[in-house]
Amino acid sequence: MATLNSQIPAGPLSDKWEKHKFSSKLINPANKRKYKVIVVGAGLAGASASATLAELGYEVHNFVFHDSPRRAHSVAAQGGINAAKNYQNDGDSVHRLFYDTIKGGDYRAREANVHRLAEVSVNIIDQCAAQGVPFAREYGGLLDNRSFGGAQVSRTFYARGQTGQQLLLGAYSALNKMIGAGGVKSYTHSEMLDLVVVDGHAKGIIVRNLQTGEITRHSADAVVLATGGYGNVYNLSTYARGSNVTASWRAYKRGACFGNPCYTQIHPTCIPVSGDYQSKLTLMSESLRNDGRIWVPKRKEDCKKNPADIAEGDRDYYLERMYSAFGNLAPRDVASRAAKYVCDEGRGIGDTGLGVYLDFGDSIRRLGEGKVRERYGNLFSMYHEITNEDAYKTPMRIYPAVHYTMGGLWVDYNLMSNIPGLFVLGEANFSDHGANRLGASALMQGLSDGYFVLPSTITTYLANVKAGGRPATDRGEFKQAEEEVRNFTRRVTSNNGKRTPDSFHKQLGKIMWDYCGMARTETGLQKAIQLIGDLREEFRTNVKVLGEPDGLNQPLEKAGRVADFIELGELMCRDALMREESCGGHFREEYQYTPNDPEVQQGVVNTGDVKRRDDQFAFVAAWEYAGAPDKAPILNKEPLIYEEVKMSTRSYK
């Protein structure tokens, strides 16, 4: 069993971070340059961490598999970033952001981490504004805000529909500054393929250069993973095609615990699937729900009709009906599940019957087409480009799609995993969003971890490591890790298989979506575990990778990633099976409110809402690798103790 100590500082919640920073050890500036830190990933978390650590004087080596750090998938976030600035004077505060995040996460996140996130949020906006991030502004020149993703205050800062790209360019510019100044050495086209653990501490990585195929060893005093989420396990998702779990997964196989893998966020407003060739689902910004109304026909017979021919009275604005207080702005998990329900009832629209309308008719009548165009023009044209439909004239068709993974490598309050010296930031860790993430909070967490949390918590570890004492790369652990990487490459390129990695990925994605998607059942999950086990075996014997291992070989890259996704998929199903409750993005059909429940009768929740079981499942599931892919992983539990907030039934009625 792994030892999990969350290292949460004692004392009142709002003083913990301040106190912790003070009690952390410092490293004298002359010594800092003797420490080398490897950062894998250059999204919001990785780029901001690399830049900040280098500013502090550490020797930083940054690795990305992309051709440029600017292409990390943080770039694609559209909506915005939350911060408890209360510039709008609408009652926001650090405490309210903290509370909303805890509640939004369905009481499955750590209080101390979330409070720190809310505290730091205000510094992020300052930092980004100073870097020149072109946030939206009011005519007076001050920052504009909007309400977003189920929040009742306007605390979201944004930059048109591409806040992610703008924040990433800010972090990337900070990274560039430090690369230019020599503080960061940047390795592009470099995919981490293994973690090297020496005497129980993370001390290096094995990297394959994707352009040349060269495999190299890198040692360091600490390793930071900021490698993003694993939603591509579903094949079809809003993730970039290259997003993968490999770095996290190899760390898991070296002993790092994987926290809450089954917590997946399904985003309600994506463009529906159109065919089996599909490679990618496109998200339409959630901001559309501010002015669009979601509906399906009341009667199944109307589903194939032209929406314009369905009378107002024959439409079911189901979110407004079910969640009158939040209406179309209900949180993501709630809105997604509601869409699934109405489609399961046979009232879905479009060719596949898996879609609902997002209608701007009312807004266009109320605000005029010009205003709607001004607010959402880029999204409407993107929708038109993809579907060839004009959303000013006919309602958009949307359906939920996998968008974010709340689970990830387990970390303590210092963002260190249970392998000393291995830190995990951003979406790659499990820590801040519980079982469901609120809109505009991912960017906040990535930057919080990278700019403010890690640079201060990493000293707790480094101060106890001898400066300049990192191991040489000719040690046995490095050699062995490199050999394992080479073995995999050799095996898949010489395998006389029949199927491409892509075809395995598609098959895995279908299993995951069917049995471990928006709704999960015990029998379904058991079946999925069986199917995935078979798939893993078939992959081993029947995968086909053409071309040479030297030089650019995209199928080879894909093979490694898919192999890891297959194993991860199984772990997700095991986690979902173990968690006999529903919470946030994890919905077990066996655990939902029924008309007999008092909460339904009192009108707090709806029939079909998620039913948590706090008495048994208020813990973080931290899974530990048992040494072989076919051995059942070991479950470690970190209890979730709520000192400040009372766990209650999440109600958006």
Partner 1 sequence: MKVSLKVWRQKNANAAGEFKTYASPELNPNMSFLEMLDVVNEELSNRGEDPIAFDHDCREGICGTCSLVIDGKPHGPHKGVATCQTYMRSFSNGDQIVIEPWRAKAFPIVKDLVCDRKSFDRIQQAGGFISVRTGSAPDANSIPVPKENADLAMDAAQCIGCGACVAACKNASAMLFVSAKVSHLGLMPQGQPERYKRVKAMVDQMDTEGFGACTVTGSCEAVCPKEISLDFIARMNRDYAVALIQGDPKQVVGGGAG
Span 385-414, contacts to partner 1 by CB under 8 A? 385-388
Rounded to the nearest whole angstrom, what is the least distance from the CB of residue 40 to partner 1 in the complex? Answer: 17
Tokens of 189: 């086209």
**Residue placing its CB nearer to partner 1 in the complex, 117 or 310:** 117
Question: DSSP letter at 634?
Answer: E
Sole binder of partner 1 in the list 88, 176, 290, 521 (CB under 8 A): 176
- What are the backbone angles phi and psi of residue 289, rounded to the nearest 5°? -70, -10
**Residue placing its CB nearer to partner 1 in the complex, 272 or 517:** 272
User: Which parts of 241-280 interact with partner 1 (CB under 8 A)?
Assistant: 241-242, 274-275, 277-280
**Residue placing its CB nearer to partner 1 in the complex, 316 or 557:** 557
In the residue annotation, 375 being an active-site residue is answered as no
**Residue placing its CB nearer to partner 1 in the complex, 552 or 645:** 552
**Residue placing its CB nearer to partner 1 in the complex, 271 or 529:** 271
Of 148-156, 180-188, 466-474, 616-624, the segment contacting partner 1 by CB under 8 A is 180-188
- What are the backbone angles phi and psi of residue 538, rounded to the nearest 5°? -65, -40
**Residue placing its CB nearer to partner 1 in the complex, 161 or 268:** 161
Residue with tokens 């069917």: 514
- H-type helices in 412-553, by residue range? 442-447, 454-462, 476-494, 501-516, 522-542
Sole binder of partner 1 in the list 320, 389, 484, 502 (CB under 8 A): 502
**Residue placing its CB nearer to partner 1 in the complex, 134 or 368:** 134
Examine residue 354 and tell whether it contacts partner 1 (CB under 8 A). no
Of 235-243, 352-360, 438-446, 465-473, the segment contacting partner 1 by CB under 8 A is 235-243
How, if at all, do strands 619-624 and 258-259 pair?
A: antiparallel
Rounded to the nearest whole angstrom, what is the least distance from the CB of residue 89 to partner 1 in the complex? Answer: 12
Q: How far apart (Å, rounded) are the C-alpha atoms in residues 425 and 432?
A: 11
Examine residue 493 and tell whether it contacts partner 1 (CB under 8 A). no
Binding footprint of partner 1, residue count (CB under 8 A): 82
Sole binder of partner 1 in the list 154, 173, 521, 542 (CB under 8 A): 173
Q: Where are the beta strands (DSSP E) in 228-347?
A: 258-259, 264-270, 293-297, 315-316
Examine residue 495 and tell whether it contacts partner 1 (CB under 8 A). no
Rounded to the nearest whole angstrom, what is the least distance from the CB of residue 506 to partner 1 in the complex? Answer: 10
User: Which parts of 423-452 interact with partner 1 (CB under 8 A)?
Assistant: 451-452
Residue pair 290/146 in contact (Cβ under 8 Å)? The answer is yes
Question: 554-578 vs 476-494: helix axis angle to the nearest 10?
Answer: 100
- What are the backbone angles phi and psi of residue 156, rounded to the nearest 5°? -100, 125
Distances in Å between the Cα of 149 and the Cα atoms of 326, 329, 442 are: 10, 6, 12
Q: Which of 293, 332, 337, 650 is catalytic?
A: 332
**Residue placing its CB nearer to partner 1 in the complex, 315 or 505:** 505
User: Which parts of 209-228 interact with partner 1 (CB under 8 A)?
Assistant: 211
Task: Give the N- to C-terminal CA distance of the chain in Å, as an integer.
Answer: 42
How, if at all, do strands 396-405 and 356-359 pair?
A: antiparallel
Rounded to the nearest whole angstrom, what is the least distance from the CB of residue 107 to partner 1 in the complex? Answer: 31
Distances in Å between the Cα of 224 and the Cα atoms of 50, 194, 399, 500, 637 are: 9, 13, 35, 32, 24
Q: How far apart (Å, rounded) are the C-alpha atoms in residues 45 and 66?
A: 15
Examine residue 542 and tell whether it contacts partner 1 (CB under 8 A). no
Q: How far apart (Å, rounded) are the C-alpha atoms in residues 414 and 459?
A: 9
Q: How far apart (Å, rounded) are the C-alpha atoms in residues 623 and 238?
A: 26
Q: Where are the beta strands (DSSP E) in 133-237?
A: 156-157, 184-187, 190-198, 201-209, 215-219, 222-225
Examine residue 363 and tell whether it contacts partner 1 (CB under 8 A). no
**Residue placing its CB nearer to partner 1 in the complex, 364 or 382:** 382
User: Which parts of 453-482 interact with partner 1 (CB under 8 A)?
Assistant: 455
Rounded to the nearest whole angstrom, what is the least distance from the CB of residue 390 to partner 1 in the complex? Answer: 15
Sole binder of partner 1 in the list 93, 152, 394, 500 (CB under 8 A): 500
In 3D space, the residue among 579, 569, 443 whose CA is nearest the CA of residue 165 turns out to be 443
Residue with tokens 């009768």: 601
Site map 613..632 versus partner 1, x via CB under 8 A: --------------------
Sole binder of partner 1 in the list 8, 55, 99, 373 (CB under 8 A): 55
User: Which parts of 184-213 interact with partner 1 (CB under 8 A)?
Assistant: 186, 188, 211
Examine residue 172 and tell whether it contacts partner 1 (CB under 8 A). yes
Active site residues: 332
